[in-house]
């Protein structure tokens, strides 16, 4: 049996009972010196002693369980990760977390309770702000996370960065990049203009397959290393991203400096996001891509075949086509995993994605996981009465080796129903029938549909009703 050192917990039990070491030792039929060694973690807490504690005091032995300690450690790691994200210099080691969970479990539980209260208060403040139409969330609100700042930066520009889009279109023409096969032209530009050659990264060793990076640039050796797992279009995108850093650095710096971001982390993420934007615009030049999209009625798979890129790349590019005088359909773009974590979200128009308490389970972005590889479409209506056409499909990225887990996401593209007739996906749907749309919301905590069968939480604004009238809890009960 694994040795279990629980001296602090035993000492806490004794203090709760108001007993001395001698009195507790007598009650447990132990010597005082032996009990003192247990309390000082010089001896383990054995099963016979645990049984005596249970018999004498009626204490649940779960209080001294390794499982309880493991739960505390898991919770504390989440807390410390959250704190470290806001204050990178205050990181707490796993060894310190284990020590706290093992020797001061009451303190650990207090920290967990405080953090949960803080999280709920922050969510409530943000949700109330969103409910009242005030994005500032009051003076006491926590500073936004870096990636949220960057998302807001792109959203404020309708997901269109004209300076980069225009430059990418011009350079694609100057470099004579063939549509659907740009890799040789990108290689030539890297070599002739920047003296950069492209090589493959070493394969990760056994047990480290998921740790492989897609791109690494050795500036001193002038070598761009790419993952051997990348396909042709993916290699082209990574090369185009590196060219963004080499060709467009002054423009990237100027845009980031003018964005008003709060810290280095947000500025670094924005710089990467802008380089990725340039890469997409270089591979899919604006006017050419928009003309093809309109001619094909925004058929994503046919656009992918024509330009030699994947489903997600086409969706992302479609959400950026907002050049004044030559606008495409204003799309919303989102990517989620099976757990509902949103890793990408972009909007070219008024649609706001919820930042509070997850998204709506009735949304077809989750139905796509049940039909892998197939496009799922949905007419959806928000609580404010606006209707949207959404299409979603899963995309999978393989790590390339036996036994390595794949990355699977659901990618969704949506637009206001007033634009839906331009899309091939609207064929056969009655866009004018209000009853054809599925009622969805931004998320339970900000959705006003109280009778929704999938509701998990009461909406903001109903909390007082729930407290005053317990019958109102019924619609939110989870089976």
Statement: residue 342 has pLDDT above 50: yes
Which pLDDT belongs to residue 65?
A: 57
Residues 21 and 123 in one domain: no
- Final residue of a structural domain among 108, 132, 156: 132
**What is the chain's mean pLDDT, rounded?**
81
Residues 347 and 439 in one domain: yes
Give 130's pLDDT tier (boundaries 50, 70, 90): low
Which pLDDT belongs to residue 357?
A: 47
Statement: residue 402 has pLDDT above 90: no
Give 166's pLDDT tier (boundaries 50, 70, 90): very high
Give 36's pLDDT tier (boundaries 50, 70, 90): confident
Residues 454 and 426 in one domain: no
Statement: residue 470 has pLDDT above 50: no
Statement: residue 469 has pLDDT above 50: no
Statement: residue 327 has pLDDT above 50: yes
pLDDT (average), residues 125-130: 64
Residue 301: inside a domain, yes or no?
Answer: no
Residues 436 and 452 in one domain: no
Which pLDDT belongs to residue 84?
A: 63
51-60, 174-183, 235-244: least confidently modelled range: 51-60
Statement: residue 382 has pLDDT above 80: yes
Domain CATH code at residue 33: 1.10.260.40
Which pLDDT belongs to residue 208?
A: 47
Give 348's pLDDT tier (boundaries 50, 70, 90): low
Give 477's pLDDT tier (boundaries 50, 70, 90): very low
Number of domains in the chain: 4
Which pLDDT belongs to residue 471?
A: 41
- Final residue of a structural domain among 112, 132, 152: 132
pLDDT (average), residues 178-195: 94
14-23, 51-60, 200-209, 329-338: least confidently modelled range: 200-209
Residues 406 and 477 in one domain: no
Contact 278, 244 (CB under 8 A): yes
Statement: residue 352 has pLDDT above 60: no
Domain CATH code at residue 394: 3.30.450
SS (H, E, C) the chain: CCCCCCHHHHHHHHHHCCCCHHHHHHHCCCCHHHHHHHHCCCCCCCHHHHHHHHHHHCCCHHHHCHHHHHHHHHHHHHHHHHHHHHCHHHCCCHHHHHHHHHHCHHHHHHHHHHHHHHHHHHHHHHHHHHHHCCCCCCCCCCCCCHHHHHHHHHHHCCCCCHHHHHHHHHHHHHCCCCCCCCHHHHHHHHHHHHCCEEEECCCCCCCCHHHCCCEEEECCCCEEEECCCCCHHHHHHHHHHHHHHHHCHHHHHHHHHCCCCCCHHHHHHHHHHHHHHHHHHHHCCHHHHHHHHHHCCCCHHHHHHHHCCCHHHHHHHHCCCEECCEECCCCEEEEECCCCCEEEEEECCCCCCCCCCCCCCCCHHHHHHHCCCCCEEEEEECCCCCEEEEEEEEEEECCCCCCCCCEEEEEEEEEEHHHHHHCHHHCCCCCCCHHHCEECCCCHHHCCCCCCCCCCCCCCCCHHHHHHCHHHHHHHCCC
Residue 294: inside a domain, yes or no?
Answer: no
CA distances from 205 to 45, 200, 234, 401 (A): 41, 15, 22, 11
Residue 473: inside a domain, yes or no?
Answer: yes
pLDDT (average), residues 69-97: 70
Residue 29: inside a domain, yes or no?
Answer: yes
Residues 379 and 409 in one domain: yes
Domain residues for the domain of 336 are 328-445
Give 111's pLDDT tier (boundaries 50, 70, 90): confident
* Threshold 0.85, pTM exceeds: no
Residues 422 and 472 in one domain: no
Residue pLDDT, tens place only, 258-290: 988 888 888 999 999 999 999 999 999 999 999
pLDDT (average), residues 104-126: 77
Residue 471: inside a domain, yes or no?
Answer: yes
Residue 383: inside a domain, yes or no?
Answer: yes
Q: Which of 223, 220, 226, 224 is nearest to 201 (CA)?
A: 226
Residues 360 and 469 in one domain: no
- Final residue of a structural domain among 132, 155, 182: 132
Residue 320: inside a domain, yes or no?
Answer: no
Residues 344 and 431 in one domain: yes
Residue 457: inside a domain, yes or no?
Answer: yes
pLDDT (average), residues 326-333: 92
Residues 340 and 435 in one domain: yes
């Amino acid at each position: 049996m694994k040795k279990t050192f629980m001296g602090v917990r035993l000492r806490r039990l004794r203090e709760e009972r108001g007993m001395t070491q001698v009195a507790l030792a007598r009650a447990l039929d132990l010597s005082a010196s032996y009990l003192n060694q247990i309390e000082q973690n010089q001896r383990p807490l054995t099963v016979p002693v645990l049984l005596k504690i249970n018999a004498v005091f009626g204490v649940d032995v779960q209080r001294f369980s390794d499982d309880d300690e493991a739960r505390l450690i898991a919770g504390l790691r989440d807390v410390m990760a959250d704190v470290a994200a806001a204050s990178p210099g205050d990181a707490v080691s796993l060894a310190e977390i284990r020590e706290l969970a093992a020797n001061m479990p009451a303190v650990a539980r207090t920290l967990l309770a405080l953090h949960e209260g803080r999280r709920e208060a922050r969510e409530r403040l943000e949700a109330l702000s969103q409910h009242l139409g005030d994005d500032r969330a009051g003076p006491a609100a926590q500073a936004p996370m870096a990636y949220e700042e960057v998302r807001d930066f792109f959203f404020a520009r309708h997901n269109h960065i004209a300076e980069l889009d225009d430059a990418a279109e011009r350079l694609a023409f100057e470099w004579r990049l063939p549509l659907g096969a740009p890799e040789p032209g990108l290689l030539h530009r890297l070599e002739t203009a920047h003296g950069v050659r492209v090589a493959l990264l070493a394969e990760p060793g056994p047990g480290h397959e998921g740790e492989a990076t897609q791109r690494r640039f050795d500036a001193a050796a002038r070598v761009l290393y790419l993952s051997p797992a990348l396909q042709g279009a993916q290699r082209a995108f990574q090369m185009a991203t590196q060219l963004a850093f080499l060709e467009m650095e002054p423009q990237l710096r100027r845009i980031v400096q003018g964005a008003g971001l709060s810290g280095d982390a947000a500025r670094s993420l924005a710089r990467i996001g802008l380089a990725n934007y340039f890469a997409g615009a270089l591979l899919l030049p604006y006017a050419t891509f928009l003309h093809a999209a309109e001619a094909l009625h925004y058929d994503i798979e046919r656009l992918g075949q024509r330009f030699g890129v994947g489903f997600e790349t086409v969706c992302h590019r479609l959400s950026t086509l907002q050049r004044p005088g030559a606008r495409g359909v204003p799309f919303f773009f989102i990517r989620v995993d099976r757990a509902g974590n949103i890793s990408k979200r972009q909007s070219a128009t008024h649609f706001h994605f919820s930042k509070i308490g997850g998204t709506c389970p009735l949304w077809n972005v989750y139905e796509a996981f049940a039909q892998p590889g197939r496009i799922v479409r949905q007419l959806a209506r928000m609580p404010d009465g606006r209707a949207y056409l959404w299409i979603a499909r899963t995309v999978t990225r393989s790590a390339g080796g036996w036994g390595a887990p794949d990355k699977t996401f659901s990618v969704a593209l949506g637009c206001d129903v007033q634009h839906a007739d331009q899309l091939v996906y609207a064929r056969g749907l009655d866009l004018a029938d209000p009853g054809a749309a599925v009622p969805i919301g931004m998320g339970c905590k900000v959705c006003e549909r109280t009778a929704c069968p999938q509701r998990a939480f009461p909406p903001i604004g109903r909390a007082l009703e729930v407290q005053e009238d317990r019958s109102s809890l019924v619609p939110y009960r989870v089976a």
